Amino acid sequence: MEFSDRQKLIIEIVKAHEPITGDNIAAKLNLTKPTLRNDLSLLTMTGVLDARPKVGYIYSGQTIEPLLFEKLYTKKVDDIMIPAVFIKQDTSLKNAITDLFMYDVGSLYVVNKDKKLVGILSRKDLLRSVLANNEDDIPVAVVMSRMPNVITITPEETILTAGNTLMQHQVDSLPVVEKGTNDKIIGKITKTRIMNHFIEEGIKVKAQ
């Protein structure tokens, strides 16, 4: 459902002048009250306006829900991506684990000398390596998930696509790479970031 321009105008008028009678709203719009009947009735029935007998219309402060889907899902990866933490291929396992704690992240992006993405190191990769009794001074290049087996995404994609990709591939993090490349990293998107996005928007709607 989408409100018409006139309905949006009525909402603005009520917000500015509440309580205001239907006659006064009509006067401000240079229209007659019967012309507005359908609009006022829709706005009241949807709960956006409250009609108080002998007082007038009051803005209920309720959300205009139709925008919710857009805010949640069709926003771009670009709008919510976060910075990535990089390490070199010859970083030791032990230093990589230390970095995970230092930067409080779930994954590290491994880059070569040209700062191009060559692999990802997740908590799971590190634990797998511990289980394999690897010495803690071996380089991360030995245990990382290596390109081209790393799933990436571009900043133009929607949050819905990013979330679906994380879900389908069962990974915790996606490097965001420049469109047309698959190794020029400009950020990252994670399950945590996406969940936080949904929760933050939900809290905003609820507070309205």
Residues contributing to the site for its own copies (CB under 8 A) = 1-2, 38, 41-42, 45-48, 62-63, 65-66, 68-69, 72-73, 94, 97-98, 100-101, 123-124, 126-128, 130-131, 136, 160, 163-164, 166-167, 172, 191-192, 194-196, 198-200, 202-203, 205-206
In the complex with its own copies, which residue's Cβ is closer, 55 or 130? 130
Give the nearer residue to its own copies in terms of CB position, either 24 or 63: 63
Least spacing, CB of residue 46 vs its own copies, in Å: 5
Q: Which residues pair with 176 in a beta bridge?
A: 153, 187
Distance between terminal CA atoms of the chain? 19
Query: CB 44 → its own copies: shortest distance, Å?
Result: 10
Q: What are phi and psi of 47, to 5 degrees?
A: 85, 5
Least distance (Å) from its own copies to the CB of residue 85? 15
Quick one: which of 122, 1, 136, 21 has its CA closest to 69?
1
Is the distance from CB of 35 to CB of 26 less than 8 angstroms? yes
180, 186, 191, 192: CA torsion to nearest 10: -170
Residue (of 166, 107, 115, 183) closest to 140 by Cα position: 107
- Minimum CB distance to its own copies smaller for 156 or for 178: 156
CB of 151 to its own copies, least distance (A): 15
CA dist., res. 62 & res. 43, Å (int): 11
Q: How many helices (H) and strands (E) does the chain have?
A: 9, 8
The 8-class DSSP code of residue 34 comes to H
Complex with its own copies: residue 85 or 147, whichever CB lies closer? 85
Please report how close the Cβ of residue 23 comes to its own copies at its closest, in angstroms. Answer: 22
Nearer to its own copies, 47 or 181 (CB): 47
